[in-house]
C-alpha cells in the first residue's frame, strides 16, 4: 500500500492537497451565486451587471461538442463556483501576512515566493483555487508604471482599463465556456504595460486548484500599450482527485502599436490515474488581439497535464504588419486526450503567422492538432507557415491533424507541413548503448523532437519544461 502511494506520488508530484479553511459560495450556478461572488469581491455595480448579462446569455447557449475527446455531461449545478482560502479573503498587504500553510503549498510546488522574489527576478501572482493570493515584486514594477495585480484588484483600482478591454478580445457571448467564465470568473491576473516600457522581468502566475468539487474560472487580461514589451509565464497544478474538475479560464491579450506580448504556459494539471480516472478538464479560451500596427503576440504552450485539454490560443492580426506565433507541445499519456491548436485570423495587410505544433502520444492517449488559418480579403500579402509534427509511442495511441485554411486573398502565401513519426526501437537502442536508461532515452529523443518549441521558453522555464517532458512520458516504454 505504502509502495503504491509512493509510486503514485512519483507519478504526479503535485498531487497533494492543502488543509486550509475555505470560504465557499453555495453549490450551483444561479444569479444568487453570481451576486455572492461579486459581493464578496466588493465589485462595483457595472461588473455585476456585466456578469449577469453573461449569465443571461449563457442560458441560451449550448455546450459545444464538435471536439474529438468526448466527456460525460457536466452537472453545472453540482459545482462550487467560488472557493477561497479563508485567510485570504481579507487580502494580505504583504507576503508576511500570508497563511503559512499557503506559503508551504507554494514551496512544495517549487515556487517559493520569497525565493523567487530574490533569486529569479520573476514577479509571481499566485491564484489558489479562486483568489489571487500574493503578488510579489510590486514596488519594482510600480516604479515603471506597470500594473501587475489580481483581476479583483484591477476591477477596484483600474476600472477604466478593465471596462475598456475586458471582453474586447473574447466577447461575453463568444461560446459556452467563455460565457460561463464571464459570469462566474473569480480571479486571475491583470497586467498593463505603459507606452514605451519594456517590462524588466518575467511576469508569472501560478494557478492551483486545491478544493474538491470546485471549478476554476480565472480571467487574465494583459494589455501592452504602444511600443511596450512583456513576457508572461503561467504554470498550473492540481491535487490528485478521483472526480474530474473543470478549469475554464479566459485569457485576453491586447497589443497596441509596436507592442509585443509573449505568453508562455506550462500546464501540468492532474492528468488522472493510469486508468483514466479523475483529472482536470482543461477547457480554456485564450485569445490575443494584435490591435496596433507592427504588434506581435506569441503563444508558447507546454501541455502535459489534464485529463482533457481543449484549447486554441489564437491571434487576431488586425493591425497592419502584425505577427502572430503559436508554439505548442502537447503530450498525452495513458488515457489523456488533447484537442488543441490555434487560430490565426489575418485581417490587416502584411500580417504574418507561424504555427509550430508538436504532439506526442503514448499509452491509450489521443492527440489532435486543430487549427485555422483565416485570411481576410483585405489582408494583402499575408503569410502563414504551419508545421505540425506528431510522435507516436506504441500502437494504442492516436494522433490527428485537422488544419483548416480559409484563404480569401490571392496574394497571400500559406505553407503547411505535417509529419507523423514513431520513436524507433533503433534510436532507443542507440541511446541505451551509450548508457541512458530507456526513460532517459525517451526523454532525450522527445526533447529533441520538441526543441523548436522549448527554445521559445524563457530559460528557467525551459529547464523545468524539459524535465516535465521526460516525467510525463514515464512508464510509456515497456
Q: Does 467 bind another protein (CB under 8 A)?
A: no
Segment interacting with another protein (CB under 8 A) among 44-52, 99-107, 123-131, 427-435: 427-435
Residue of the chain from 172, 238, 251, 445 that contacts another protein (CB under 8 A): 445
Q: Which residue number, 224 or 444, has a Cβ lying nearer to another protein? A: 444
Query: Three cell numbers at 89?
Result: 479573503
3-state helix, strand, coil in the chain (%, to 5): 25, 35, 40
CB 232 within 8 A of CB 265: no
Choices 216-224, 300-308, 345-353, 445-453; region in contact with another protein by CB under 8 A: 445-453
In angstroms, what is the minimal distance from the CB of 264 to another protein? 19
436 binds another protein (CB under 8 A): yes
CB of 282 to another protein, least distance (A): 26
Listed in sequence order, the residues at least 6 apart from 358 whose beta carbon sits closer than 8 Å to its beta carbon are 328, 329, 330, 389, 390, 391, 449, 450, 452, 453
Q: Total number of residues binding another protein (CB under 8 A)?
A: 23
Least distance (Å) between residue 9 CB and another protein: 23
Q: Does 90 bind another protein (CB under 8 A)?
A: no
Among 431, 442, 468, 473, binds another protein (CB under 8 A): 431
By CB under 8 A, residue 426 contacts another protein: yes
**b/e per residue 233-242 (b: at least 16 CB within 10 A):** bbbbbbbbbe
Query: Residue 181 or 476: which CB sits closer to another protein?
Result: 476
For 125, the grid coordinates are: 501572482
Part of the chain binding another protein (CB under 8 A), chosen from 7-15, 50-58, 227-235, 437-445: 437-445
Residues contacting 166, CB < 8 A, separation 6+: 50, 219, 221, 252
- Work out whether 414 is an interface residue with another protein (CB under 8 A): no
Which of 214, 361 has the CB closer to another protein?
A: 361
Cβ closest to another protein, residue 178 vs residue 431: 431
Q: Does 450 bind another protein (CB under 8 A)?
A: yes
Note whether 417 binds another protein by CB under 8 A: no
User: What's the CA gap between 246 and 185, in Å, rounded?
Assistant: 13
Among 377, 452, 463, 467, binds another protein (CB under 8 A): 452
Residue 395 touches another protein, criterion: CB under 8 A: no
From 160, 163, 88, 159, select the one nearest 126 (Cα to Cα).
88
Q: Kind of pairing, strands 123-128 and 131-135?
A: antiparallel
Q: Return the DSSP state at 476.
A: -
Residue 382, C-alpha cell as written in the block: 499575408
Q: Is 427 in the site for another protein (CB under 8 A)?
A: yes
State the pairing for strand pair 123-128/203-208: parallel
Q: Tell whether the torsion through CA atoms of 187, 188, 194 and 200 is positive or negative.
A: positive
Only one residue has cell 500579402, namely 381
Would you count residue 425 as binding another protein (CB under 8 A)?
A: yes
Q: Considering the complex, what minimum distance in angstroms separates the CB of residue 320 from another protein?
A: 35
Q: How far apart are CA 254 and CA 102, in angstroms?
A: 32
67 lies in the site for another protein, by CB under 8 A: no
**Listed residue (410, 332, 344, 409) closest to 373, CA to CA:** 344
How many other C-beta atoms can be found within 10 angstroms of the C-beta atom of residue 2?
A: 6
Cβ at position 330, least distance to another protein in Å: 17
Residues within the interface to another protein (CB under 8 A) = 424-427, 429-438, 440, 444-445, 447-452
Amino acid at each position: 500500500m505504502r509502495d503504491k502511494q509512493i509510486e503514485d506520488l512519483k507519478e504526479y508530484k503535485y498531487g497533494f492537497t492543502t488543509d486550509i479553511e475555505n470560504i465557499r459560495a453555495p453549490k450551483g450556478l444561479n444569479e444568487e451565486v453570481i451576486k455572492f461572488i461579486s459581493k464578496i469581491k466588493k465589485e462595483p455595480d457595472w461588473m455585476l451587471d456585466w456578469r449577469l448579462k453573461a449569465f443571461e446569455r449563457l442560458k441560451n447557449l449550448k455546450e459545444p461538442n464538435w471536439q474529438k475527446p468526448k466527456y460525460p455531461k457536466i452537472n453545472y449545478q453540482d459545482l462550487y463556483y467560488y472557493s477561497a482560502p479563508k485567510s485570504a479573503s481579507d487580502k494580505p498587504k504583504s507576503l508576511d501576512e500570508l497563511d503559512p500553510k499557503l506559503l508551504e503549498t507554494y514551496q512544495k510546488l517549487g515556487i517559493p515566493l520569497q525565493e523567487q522574489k530574490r533569486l529569479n527576478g520573476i514577479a509571481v501572482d499566485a491564484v489558489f483555487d479562486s483568489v489571487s493570493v500574493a503578488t510579489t515584486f510590486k514596488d519594482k514594477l510600480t516604479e515603471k508604471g506597470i500594473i501587475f495585480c489580481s483581476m479583483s484588484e484591477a476591477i477596484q483600482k483600474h476600472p477604466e482599463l478593465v471596462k475598456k478591454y475586458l471582453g474586447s478580445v473574447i466577447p461575453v457571448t463568444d461560446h459556452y465556456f467563455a460565457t460561463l467564465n464571464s459570469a462566474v470568473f473569480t480571479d486571475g491576473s491583470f497586467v498593463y504595460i505603459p507606452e514605451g516600457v519594456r517590462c524588466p522581468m518575467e511576469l508569472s502566475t501560478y494557478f492551483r486548484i486545491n478544493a474538491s468539487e470546485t471549478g476554476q474560472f480565472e480571467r487574465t487580461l494583459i494589455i501592452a500599450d504602444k511600443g511596450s514589451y512583456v513576457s508572461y509565464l503561467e504554470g498550473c497544478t492540481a491535487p490528485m482527485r478521483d472526480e474530474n474538475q473543470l478549469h475554464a479560464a479566459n485569457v485576453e491579450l491586447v497589443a497596441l502599436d509596436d507592442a509585443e506580448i509573449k505568453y508562455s504556459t506550462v500546464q501540468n494539471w492532474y492528468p488522472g490515474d493510469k486508468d483514466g480516472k479523475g483529472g482536470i478538464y482543461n477547457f480554456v479560451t485564450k485569445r490575443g488581439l494584435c490591435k496596433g500596427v507592427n504588434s506581435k503576440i506569441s503563444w508558447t504552450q507546454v501541455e502535459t497535464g489534464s485529463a482533457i485539454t481543449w484549447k486554441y490560443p489564437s491571434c487576431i492580426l488586425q493591425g497592419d504588419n502584425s505577427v502572430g506565433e503559436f508554439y505548442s507541445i502537447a503530450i498525452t499519456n495513458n488515457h489523456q486526450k488533447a484537442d488543441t491548436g490555434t487560430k490565426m485570423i489575418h485581417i490587416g495587410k502584411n500580417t504574418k503567422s507561424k504555427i509550430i505544433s508538436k504532439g506526442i502520444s503514448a499509452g491509450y492517449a489521443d492527440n489532435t492538432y486543430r487549427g485555422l488559418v483565416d485570411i481576410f480579403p483585405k489582408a494583402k500579402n499575408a503569410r502563414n507557415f504551419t508545421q505540425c509534427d506528431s510522435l507516436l509511442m506504441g500502437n494504442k495511441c492516436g494522433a490527428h491533424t485537422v488544419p483548416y485554411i480559409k484563404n480569401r486573398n490571392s496574394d497571400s502565401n500559406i505553407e503547411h507541413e505535417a509529419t507523423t513519426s514513431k520513436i524507433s526501437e533503433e534510436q532507443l537502442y542507440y541511446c541505451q548503448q551509450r548508457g541512458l536508461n530507456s526513460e532517459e532515452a525517451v526523454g532525450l529523443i522527445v526533447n529533441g523532437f520538441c526543441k523548436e518549441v522549448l527554445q521559445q521558453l524563457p530559460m528557467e522555464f525551459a529547464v523545468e519544461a524539459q524535465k516535465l517532458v521526460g516525467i510525463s512520458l514515464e512508464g510509456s516504454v515497456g
